[in-house]
Amino acid sequence: MPSGTLTGVLNGSNSYTRQRLAGLPTMIRKNWISLCTGAGLCAVPFTQKQVEGLSHETLIRRASSLVTDSTNTFLSQTTLALVDSLTQYVKAVHMLLALQKRYVTSVTKLNSMEEEAVWQIIVRQRAEVSDRRDEYKSFESNWMNAINLSKMAAEVAYNAGADQASITARTNLQVAQAHVEDIRQQSLEAERMLVETKAEEMKRTPPLASEAVEEDIPEAYLRED
């Protein structure tokens, strides 16, 4: 292809591309409201048809409803993750309790090899409990952030006049907190049972095992009041 022809094709292509790019803002403006300030703050929440003839108060009220929708989703997901991880933690603690009680009642009947085998199972379960505790602690941090965001979103919606959105957000908060509180009580009960077995196990197990029993117990239960 002659160079002149190639140049013409490229120029034509570039011209077409520039026309397409130049047309994008117009196309966007037909479908979206895009209000930007010099500081770079932009609001693009609704379509052109949705905002025609609406006041700023109405738009703010609608925007606050969108915020509560998002925070409700975030709260639901973090609550599910926290409840599930706490449930797995409680199961792991109860399994550890069962293993330790079985070990204490049968330790005098085991030979050294059997005792070592049982103790290794307990050690692995201790690691499982620790991992589950770390997992739920990480989800707990996300959940607390979601709780705080939901509280703020509910307040914003209320102040903006989006009463239904505010009520929904507060209801979801109560439900989420109730679910988490229920499983937290179960975890506290499991940890309490773990503490109650400490004295007996430390008396009836070898020194090394007694030290490990203390490691199983959450730090908060080992501190003096």
Side chain identity at residue 71, one-letter code: T
Q: How many CB atoms sit inside 10 A of residue 132's CB?
A: 20
Side chain identity at residue 68, one-letter code: T
Cα–Cα distance measured from residue 106 to residue 100, given in angstroms and rounded to the nearest whole number: 10
pTM of the model: 0.68
| Residue range 39-91, pLDDT digits in tens | 444 454 555 555 556 788 888 888 899 999 999 999 999 999 999 999 999 99
32 secondary structure, DSSP code: B
Cβ pair 187, 202 in contact under 8 A: no
Residue whose entry in the numeric block shows the structure tokens 């959940």 = 143
> Which pLDDT value is given to residue 111?
83
> Which pLDDT value is given to residue 107?
74
Measured CA to CA in angstroms, residue 110 lies from 59, 75, 118 at distances of 74, 50, 9
User: Strand locations in the chain, DSSP E?
Assistant: 35-36, 42-43
How many whole angstroms from its chain centre is CA 175? 16
Cα–Cα distance measured from residue 56 to residue 67, given in angstroms and rounded to the nearest whole number: 16
Cα–Cα distance measured from residue 80 to residue 153, given in angstroms and rounded to the nearest whole number: 20
Side chain identity at residue 83, one-letter code: V
> Which pLDDT value is given to residue 188?
95
pLDDT at 221 over 50: no
Cα–Cα distance measured from residue 149 to residue 70, given in angstroms and rounded to the nearest whole number: 10
How many whole angstroms from its chain centre is CA 170? 18
